[in-house]
Every structure is written in C-alpha cells, then in structure tokens.
Chains A and B, each alone.
Chain A
C-alpha cells in the first residue's frame, strides 16, 4: 500500500508541474488559438535564470528560503520578459496570416531558444541546488512525501486559485474572456487587444517559470532540453482536459501525472514518455474536445 501512495503522491507532484506549464498553453490557445510551441523553452529559461541567480546568491552568503524567494522572483520576471518579447517578434507580425505560419514560427522560436541556451551556457546537465529547505514537521512522512513535493503541490494550488480569481474578478480577466470569445467584437468595445494578448503571454510565462524553478530544484539537474519534453507533456495535459479551459488544464495535468506515475510504477519505466503520448492519441481519437472542453460546431 505504501508503494501505491508513493506513486499517487509522485503523480500528484508531476501533475502539479504539468499544470503550471499547461496553464500557459491553455491561456494562449484560448485567446489567439495558437499552440505556443516555445512555451516549454520559457520554462527552461526560467529554470536556468533561477539557477544562475541562486548560485550567485549562495556565493554571496545568502541562505535558505531567501535564496529560493529571490531566485523565484528574478526567474519569473525574466520569463515574463521573454514571453513578452517572444510574442512581439514571432507571433504579433503573423496575426491574420495563414494558420500554419504562426505554428511554424513557433517551432522555429523553440529551436532558436534551445540552441541559444545551449550555446550561451552548456549542453551538459547542470546540477541544480535543492532550494527548498527540509521542514521539521514533515519528518515523519519524509519517505513518501518530501518537503519539496509539498511545496510544489501547495504553490500549484495557490497559483490556480490566484489565476481563477484574476480571470473571474479583475478588469483584465474580463477583457481576456471577451477577447477569447470574439476578438473583433472585443476590439470594438474598446479593449486594447495587443495589451490583453501580451498580458496573457506574460502571465503564462510567470507560471511556467515557477514550475521550472520548482521542478529543477526537486529533480536536482537541468539542461537546455528539459523544456521540450515538458512542453509537449504539458500540452498533452492541456488537450486532455480540454484546451482553452483553466480547470480542464489542471484536471488533465493531474490525470496525466497519475497515468505516468502508475504506468511507470506498475508496467515499465522504459516507456514513460510513450504512455503520455499514447494517452494523448487515445484522448484525441475518442474525445477530441477533452474532458472538460465543449465541442465546437464549425459554421460556414
């Protein structure tokens, strides 16, 4: 039974990380119907920035939670800046172009960012310091649920609630929902579309960076390629839950996290990534609109 709980909680942690990244996909897709392929790279850049800042701070003599908090803040700001720039360069000029164009531009951006980090930093795995301190009260449960896992799950839950409130109750959230429903109409009612889209990218990047920092500190190593697989899986999660829907992204991520966790635990660990893709293919065949998504009827 312990093994089962171990897998359950492991799946929950994984799912939480996927959820943080999947949110960015879902939000961007909801508003401009574009798969932001480079989103995984933002997550990777967030992790790298945090690594650099954390090492500098540690060398300067800071310790414990202060390092985590500062590294997190800097990583989030930088990831947001990257997300903003990315949208301005690669997507904004292509608004209104053929459907395929922004997608290809996104893939190009993803390859570019990967190689940029590869060349500027290194192609090796960098060890990432464990930034989360061990909590005293977690001692008895340490063997099945570590402190960093607790932090990941908590942060994800808090972020979800914060995001839901943002979308539901603020002016910006209202503008976002309006833009998602009908861009032209939103423009006519005086909403600054460009600002809304930029904000969406920036917020999505914030979450990706948070996810990047947490998972890197949990696993303990990063390289330039982590964003790619994480990005695809998070996208899978977003599709699973119904792309465009925020609760759907969370649900899908948890389902994906548990599927992977149990499948690798009980079947075989060699095929970890295969399970994720298999799940994606199955979902798309039987329920293309996702678990919580609404199917859209295309009209002429």
Chain B
C-alpha cells in the first residue's frame, strides 16, 4: 500500500519542473516521508475499518451531549456558563481575537442556516454563498445609493436572501438530490460572475469600500468600541438563530423536513406538500445567509466578489458535515473548531483546505453522523394511562 502511494504521488510530489527555465527540482525527501506516513496510516485505516464493522451496538446509552441538553440539572448551568463566558471574553483577549470570534460567530449562524437546508431537509445546496453575497451586496448598494442604515438593511438583506432562495428554489426543487447540488453550485457561480462583470451595478471586481459599521443613533463609537458592539450584536443574533432553529426543528414544518429527507414518496402519501416544504427550507436557510451577509459587509467595511467563491460554500458545508448534520450543538462546535483552529495554527494555514477536504472524506467514511450526532426522535410507547389526558 505504501509503495503504491509512493508510486502514485511520485510525479507530482517529487518532480517540480520549471518550463520557462528548463530546470527540474527533485524532492526525494518528500517521497520518503510520504512512504513512511502512508505505511502507518494504512494500518490506522484498517484498524478504523475493523472497528467500524465490529462496533458494539449500545443504543441504550445516551451520549453525553444529549444528557447535557435534555436534563435540566446539567442544561442550565451549562448554558449560563457559556453565556457568561462569551459576554466576558472580549475583555480578556486582544482586539484581533475579538474580530476572529466575530467571524466564527458569523459562520455559526451560516452553518445553522445551511443546516436547515442540508441537515434537516436533506437538500444539498452548494451555492449557499450566493445568498450570503446577496445580503452583503444589498446592504452595500442600498447604503451607497440610498443611505439606508444597518438596522434597516438587516431585515432587508434577510428578506432578499429569502426571495432569492424562493426564486432559485421554484425551478430546481423538482430535481433529485445530485442535480440539485450541481444547479445550486452553478447558481452560486452565476451570482459571483454577474457581480464581477456587471460593473455598473456592483462596481465589478474592485468591490465596494467604506461600508459604515452599525451604530446607535446619537452614540459615537471609535473603532474598538464598534468591534465590541458587533461582537455583542453577533451573540444576540446567534442566540436568536439557535432559538428559531430549535423551534423550527420541533415544529410541524421541521418534522416534515426530516420526514421528506427520509422518504419523499411516503411523505406525499401522508399529505405533505412537497414543493412548499422544500421551498420553505430553501427560503429559511437563505434568510440567515442574507442576514449574515449584511453583518459581514458591516464588519469588514469592504466587499468584493472574491469573498464569495465556491470555497466559501464548501467551508460552510464542511462545518455542517463535520459538526453533525441536523444537530445544532454540533454545527456550533463545528464552526468554532473550523474557524478558530486555523487561526491558532497559523503555521499550517496553507494546509487548511487540504485538511478540510480530507476530513470531509474521512468523516463520511468513519463517522457520517458528525462530531455530535443528532439523536433521532423515535416513537416511544407508554402505558395507556399516560394517554388518557385527552
């Protein structure tokens, strides 16, 4: 196996040609390292495969994360600790770190939004970043032309996101899963290309600068204060999102999403409107992206189409996948890990996407349910005495 990989990666890893100067660099040491690495990894792979196939079935055991959330004894202290921690955190870390944390929280909300579409409704959306771009550009352009402020732009961005979600959704939602993935991917690229090429409308690749930060009327803020302000705003938005998503998950609509994901035909037989349910998922997912776009534009004060590439969509998707599709806590954890970890490991930053890609594959192979799995709701049979209430 090791030899196979050494052969496989030989030309690309070892030889580096320079066609202009007609020189060749040989990097034999890379091949040696790879061979040794793969040798050990192949054993790890086999061990994990073995474990996957012979996993004991302990379904009665409730995982710790579920206990944390479902039992009041643990839940309230946990939540209040997290809340207090996040409120106090900016006073102990540098401004730069606060900025990173804001980014991480933007991704938390984006992840939760995409989670509605991918995790709950099971529709693979690879163009999620398009809605993010819609939100960002709607704030930037409305502000530029009509001087609309942040607070008004926030709901407008969200609504425009939802509108675009519906517009895209109507034609494509009839399609099967894999087609949907490609069309949404295409849609994301179309939005980006239009933003890049329609110079009159969006100022092209040079982007829009000097987007004002949010403020409260009558209150002047300097730079660090406004960063702090956005930080607290994001905490509020994250809490709001978690609340809404949690309510949605247990609503009639949320249940029908999950049911739709599992079996479409059975759902239609049960009288669930397929189009409307899917459209709702698409629109609600896009709403969060639109809203976060506005915050993103306000935070960076400068946007251009290069911020909205497919890589961004892939990143949000990997947050959802790594965190655990359908699980709120998982997605939050996924976003924090994926955004904060690369910041801490600056030395490895160039390997970031490499590791993302690899971890997506490995996650699917060994732990498809993600870091924190969503416990499936199952019907529990209780003694008839409990049902006599109605």
Contacts and interface: CB of A to CB of B under 8 A. Distances in A.
Interface of A: 33-35, 45, 48-49, 51-53, 55-56, 58-59, 74, 78, 81-82, 85, 89-90, 93-94, 97-105, 107-117, 119-122, 126-129, 228, 232, 235-236, 239, 270-271, 273-274, 276-278, 280-281, 284-285, 288, 298, 300
Given A100-B122, A111-B357, A120-B13, A105 B181 contact: no
A104 B321 contact: yes
Given A232-B182, A271-B193, A277-B189, A108 B358 contact: yes
A51 B17 CA distance: 8
A78 B122 contact: no
A274 B197 CA distance: 11
A277 B179 contact: no
Contact of A56 (B4, B17, B311): B17
Could you say which of B7, B189, B321, B357 has the most chain A C-beta atoms within 10 Å of its C-beta? B357
Interface in B291-337: 310-311, 314, 317-318, 321, 325
Contacts of A113: 357
Contacts of A94: 364-365
B193 A274 contact: yes
B19 A108 contact: no
A235 B197 CA distance: 24
B175 interface: yes
Interface in B135-190: 171-172, 174-175, 177-179, 181-183, 185-187, 189-190
A81 B5 CA distance: 10
Interface stretch (B97-105, B239-247, B348-356): B348-356
A56 B9 CA distance: 17
A90 B364 CA distance: 9
Nearest 8 pairs between A and B by C-beta?
A108-B360, A112-B357, A111-B357, A277-B186, A105-B364, A115-B354, A270-B197, A55-B17
B20 A108 contact: no
Contact of B11 (A49, A58, A122): A49
B24 A108 contact: no
A97 B368 CA distance: 9
Contacts of A53: 11
A175 B227 CA distance: 63
A99 B177 contact: yes
A94 B52 CA distance: 12
A115 B353 contact: yes
A273 B189 contact: yes
Interface string B8-38: 1101110111011010100000100000000
Contacts of B122: 100
Nearest to A59: B22
B183 to A, nearest CB: 6
B179 A107 contact: no
B353 A104 contact: no
Contact of B179 (A55, A232, A239): A239
A105 B365 contact: yes
B265 interface: yes
Interface residues of B, number: 61
Nearest to B118: A100
27 contacts: A33-B178, A51-B17, A52-B12, A55-B22, A74-B11, A90-B361, A93-B365, A94-B365, A102-B364, A105-B364, A107-B317, A108-B360, A108-B361, A111-B311, A112-B354, A112-B358, A115-B353, A115-B354, A119-B350, A120-B9, A121-B12, A232-B182, A273-B189, A274-B190, A274-B194, A280-B183, A281-B171
A280 B12 CA distance: 34
Given A100-B177, A239-B182, 16 more contacts: A49-B11, A53-B11, A59-B24, A78-B8, A89-B361, A101-B364, A108-B356, A108-B364, A111-B360, A115-B354, A115-B357, A120-B12, A120-B13, A228-B310, A270-B193, A281-B171
B357 A49 contact: no
Nearest to A123: B350
A85 B2 CA distance: 12
Contacts of B44: none
A213 B16 CA distance: 18
The majority secondary structure among interface residues of chain A is helix
B169 to A, nearest CB: 12
B186 A236 contact: yes
A281 B368 contact: no
Given A48-B12, A99-B177, A128-B19, A119 B365 contact: no
Contacts of B321: 104
Contact of A116 (B16, B265, B311, B354): B354
B210 interface: no
Contact of A284 (B175, B193, B265): B175
Contact of A277 (B7, B19, B187, B310): B187
B124 interface: yes
A284 to B, nearest CB: 6
Contacts of A85: 4-5, 8
A103 to B, nearest CB: 6
B65 interface: no
A227 to B, nearest CB: 13
B49 interface: yes
B66 interface: no
B359 interface: yes
Contacts of A129: 19
A56 B25 CA distance: 11
Given A117-B12, A298-B265, A110 B186 contact: no
B114 interface: no
Contacts of B283: none
B179 A284 contact: yes
B126 interface: yes
A82 B8 contact: yes
A62 to B, nearest CB: 14
A33 B354 CA distance: 26
